[in-house]
Amino acid sequence: MKTIRVFLTVITAIIGVSLTSAMAQDSQWGQQATSPNFPAVPANHNLKRNNSIPAHRPAMPSPSVSPNPVNYGFPPIPTMGCKTTSSDPSVYLGYLYKDHGGGIQMLFNGPATVGQVTFTRNDFDLQGIWLEFALPMTIQENMSALISGSHLFGLQSTAAQSYTLSNSPSAARNWNPDIQWWEVNAAGSYQFIPSVSGILGFRWSSFAVTFNNPSNQLDFPVPNTNQASLTTNAYIPYSGLMIETQPDCRSALKIGAYGCPFLPADFLYSENLTFINQQSTSISAKANMGTGYFAEGVSEYSMRRDSFIMGAFARFSVLHVERSIGVALAGVNTPTDITFERRNWIFGGKIGYSF
């Protein structure tokens, strides 16, 4: 946890310094150009009085105001909306973390024998560097699209798994999980009222974990070479709303929420078990999930200088699927209730370029 705190502190400091510098520059960009130097009017101290000029000159008529004032080099005051760009390719870099961010639960409902597993649960942390490439595109004035791809570079985390046995003491052990997480996303949005847009999209999320190096084992022989693996492919249609405000044409704040009340997904889980004084057994589950949900909330603040964009973002996601299906437990098809859930936070920054 100390390493995590230090890493978060460094990331926060980098983003804070970057935003402070950018905001300082942004305040300078907003200043108007100074007025040009006009020819100096000569002083009249050394002018000799022309005695030929009458002492009482007729009053000069006051000049009339021109309906079209002369522009002396000041930038024109904008009267139209902010300039619309065709695309803003961006890179998002952040830190993803959630203790007990992933979990698998299986309840075996078949006839139990002595020493047989009747219930198991595996909870593991999610942490790592999140890298995402995004390509927002403007299609029409009120319509835009987004294509993105992302990957989690996982850092060392922990997993704790517990087992309930029939007529035997319970068992438990820890794992060292190796996580591979890829996502591809495509979405479209339409602004139906000022500052509010509707979002409709689709996301493919591939999530795989290999559980290695069992440790702190209870009721397992030590050492052993048991291993477990999990693979899920979620096909996520989603919809939601995005609110965007622009205090000026150089900054923007976005807040969005979207999700889906059902969740098609493939689920594959396998595990080897070797209990003390028991024969080796195994769990093998393969299912097509359909019951579940997906939800995500995101906030983002960005600033623009010329064609460059820099900002910060925060995101929270949750994915939940469940299914009752036959699972091969020690080679026997056993009715099983399966639940899988994944949730996480991401905090980080972005940099982009406008075309």
Q: Is residue 202 part of a domain?
A: yes
Strands (E), 23-116: 90-108
State pLDDT tens for residues 327-344.
999 889 999 999 999 999
pLDDT at position 310:
97
pLDDT at position 84:
67
Q: Is residue 159 part of a domain?
A: yes
Q: How confident is the model at residue 273 (pLDDT cuts 50, 70, 90)?
A: very high
pLDDT at position 230:
97
Q: How far apart are CA 196 and CA 241, in angstroms?
A: 7
Q: What's the average model confidence in pLDDT over 107-131?
A: 89
Examine the pLDDT at 355 and tell me if it is beyond 80: yes
Q: Is residue 330 part of a domain?
A: yes
Examine the pLDDT at 236 and tell me if it is beyond 60: yes
Q: Of all helices (H) and strands (E), which one includes residue 136?
A: strand 117-140
Examine the pLDDT at 125 and tell me if it is beyond 50: yes
pLDDT at position 284:
95
pLDDT at position 83:
65
Q: Total structural domains in the chain?
A: 1
Average pLDDT, the chain: 82
Q: How confident is the model at residue 141 (pLDDT cuts 50, 70, 90)?
A: confident
Q: What global pTM score does this model have?
A: 0.75
Q: Is residue 302 part of a domain?
A: yes
State pLDDT tens for residues 191-218.
999 999 999 999 999 999 999 999 999 9
Q: What's the average model confidence in pLDDT over 247-253?
A: 90
Check which CATH number belongs to the domain holding 194 and give it: 2.40.128.90
Examine the pLDDT at 26 and tell me if it is beyond 80: no
Strands (E), 223-331: 228-248, 251-260, 265-273, 281-289, 291-305, 308-329
Q: Is residue 292 part of a domain?
A: yes
Q: Give whole-number Cα distances, 268 to 97, 232, 234, 287, 345, in Å.
A: 24, 6, 12, 7, 25
pLDDT at position 22:
40
Task: Give residue 255's domain range.
Answer: 92-353
Peptide bond into 89 cis (omega under 30): no
Query: In this structure, what DSSP letter does residue 306 have?
Result: T
pLDDT at position 168:
79
Please measure the distance between the N-terminal and C-terminal CA atoms of the chain and give it in whole angstroms. Answer: 42
pLDDT at position 81:
58
Q: Is residue 180 part of a domain?
A: yes
Please tell me the number of Cα atoms within 13 Å of 345 on its side-chain side. Answer: 8
Examine the pLDDT at 221 and tell me if it is beyond 50: yes
Q: How far apart are CA 114 and CA 277, in angstroms?
A: 12
State pLDDT tens for residues 290-328.
899 999 999 999 999 989 999 999 999 999 999 999 999
Q: How far apart are CA 337 and CA 118, in angstroms?
A: 11
